[in-house]
Amino acid sequence: MSILSVEKLTKQFGGLTAVSDINLSIQKNELVGLIGPNGAGKTTFFNLLTGVYKPTKGKISLNVGKEPISLIDKRTDQIASLGIARTFQNIRLFKQLTVMDNVLIGMHQKNNVGTIRSILRVPSFFKMEDKLKKEALELLAIFNLEDSADVLAENLSYGQQRRLEIVRALATEPSLLFLDEPAAGMNPQESVELTKLIRKIQQEFDLTVILIEHDMSVVMNVCERIYVLEYGRLLAEGTPEAIRSNPDVLRAYLGEEE
């Protein structure tokens, strides 16, 4: 069953076509990679799927409930509430807040007792706060961040910040997780750990994961299927082995032979 299907998705910025006529379909519980040279339109594509940009044309439909829902004309927060979570290429944590607060904010949408009840401090408010804090700690523990719960997010190391961003995304209880260059800036060992972690959360949280990545070892190790973008177009699609030997992909990455 396809959980996300995209048809003829196009985004133009003035005269520039950043994403052009992309068709793709993601199956439930798949781990899909999205690669391509710089400026290929990968992040723009994520931004279209998450409602940050409005597509010029095309269709996006999400199939998590009984019937498919069109994501066109939905606000970013509505799309997130439907079960799409993401991380950002240039980490966007709430830097001035604690690690715990970052996670609690992720949990807010699905666990809101309401503003008036919160102000009146009804018993259900306290019950919910305790429950959320406990769950947040459990979630942080999976990523070895539970000891840093009271630390400000900006004081975490780079690798920890990347992981916290994933925790925060998971806190929204998503069915689809978009990771935008999760291994960027990590050393080889951290990348290997991240690879394991992505696999682990994909199984543990029953997730469908789409990831943009430049680190080929991560992509080739973790992804079951890979889409390659170049100049906003879909260049190739297939298993890691097929992509590795695809002449078009080699040309895009390495240049043409003279």
Partner 1 sequence: MSKRMKSILVWVVIALIGFAIIQVAILTGWITRYYEMTLMLILINIMLAVGLNLIVGISGQLSLGHAGFMALGAYTTGIITRMMPNLGGFALGILGGVFLSGIVAYVVGIPTLRLKGDYLAIATLGVGEIIRIAILNLDITNGARGLSGIPKLATWYYAYIVVVLIILVAANYVNSSPGRATISIREDEIAAESLGINIQKYKMIAFLIGTMTASVAGSFHATYYQLIVPSQFDFVRSIDILIMVVLGGMGSLTGSIFAAVFLGLLNHFLADYGSLRVILYAIALILVMLFKPSGLFGRREIKASKLFNWKKKGVSQS
Report the interface residues with partner 1, using CB under 8 A: 50, 52, 75-78, 80-81, 85-86, 88, 92-97, 101, 104-115, 118-121, 125-126, 128-129, 132, 150, 168-169, 171-172
What is the closest distance, in whole angstroms, from the C-beta atom of residue 55 to partner 1 in the complex? 17
Q: Which is nearer to partner 1, 164 or 252 (CB)?
A: 164
Query: 3-state DSSP call for residue 10?
Result: strand
Give 120 or 254: the residue with its C-beta nearer to partner 1.
120
Q: Which amino acid is it at 170?
A: L
- Between 181 and 230, whose beta carbon lies closer to partner 1? 181
CB of 77 to partner 1, least distance (A): 5
Q: Which residue has the tokens 């523990």?
A: 141
**Least Cβ distance, residue 172 to partner 1 (angstroms):** 5
Whole-angstrom CA distances from 116 to 126, 236, 245 are: 14, 52, 59
Report d(CA 103, CA 140) in Å as an integer. Answer: 8
61 DSSP assignment: E
86, β-bridge pairs: 178
Q: Return the number of the residue (178 or 227) whose C-beta is nearest partner 1.
A: 178
Place of tokens 């196009």: 10
Q: Which is nearer to partner 1, 109 or 157 (CB)?
A: 109
Least Cβ distance, residue 118 to partner 1 (angstroms) = 4
Which residue, 16 or 120, is less far from partner 1 as judged by CB? 120
Helix axis angle for 123-142 and 158-170, nearest 10°, is 130
Task: Tell the smallest beta-carbon distance from residue 84 to partner 1 (Å).
Answer: 9
Q: Collapsing DSSP states into helix, strand and coil, what is residue 210?
A: strand
Helical H segments across the chain, by residue range: 42-49, 76-81, 99-108, 115-120, 123-142, 158-170, 188-204, 216-222, 240-244, 247-254
Looking at the Cβ atoms of 95 and 200, the one nearer to partner 1 is 95
Q: How far apart are CA 43 and CA 62, in angstroms?
A: 19
Least distance (Å) between residue 188 CB and partner 1: 28
Residue 125: left if φ>0, alpha if ψ -120 to 50, beta else—which one? Answer: alpha
Q: How many CB atoms lie within 10 A of CB 76?
A: 14
With beta carbons less than 8 A apart as the criterion, state whether 241 and 48 touch.
Answer: no
Minimum CB–partner distance for residue 151 and partner 1 (Å) = 10
